[in-house]
Amino acid sequence: MTYLALSTAFLAVAALGGTLAAIVTRRRPDAAALGLTALALLLLTAVFDTVMIASGLFHYSPDHLAGVHIGLAPIEDFAYPVAAVLLLPALWTALRSRRTRRDETLRTEEGSA
């Protein structure tokens, strides 16, 4: 299995999970916040992966890479920050929505008692 195939599967799962969480909660995270977060994470990934690869902390087998690099970081490394941007805000929104509903239920029960 190539790193690109693994990254694609990982991104598909994150996109599906993020979409399902957004549908269930009927809320979407703010697009501007997602864009800024993605930009920051991609920039940090480019810088720190390049530093870690240059210092010899890890390396990739070139046989399994697509061949596109940003700095020294292979393009496949950027799937993980993108997946985080897709999945984590939707998960956060879903958990927050669940907590809000629970708190409203508790307040209703306390008010009727």
If one compares 5 and 21, the residue with the highest pLDDT of the two is 5
Per-residue pLDDT band at 22 (split at 50, 70, 90) = confident
Q: Which amino acid is at 32?
A: A
Q: 45 is in which domain, residue-wise?
A: 33-112
At 34-88, the pLDDT tens digits run 899 899 999 999 999 999 999 999 888 888 888 899 999 999 999 999 999 988 8
At 92-109, the pLDDT tens digits run 877 777 666 666 676 666
The answer, yes or no, to whether residue 19 has pLDDT greater than 80, is: yes
**Domains of the chain: total:** 1
CA-closest candidate to residue 27, choices 95, 105, 74, 80: 95
Residue 2 in domain: no
Residue 65 in domain: yes
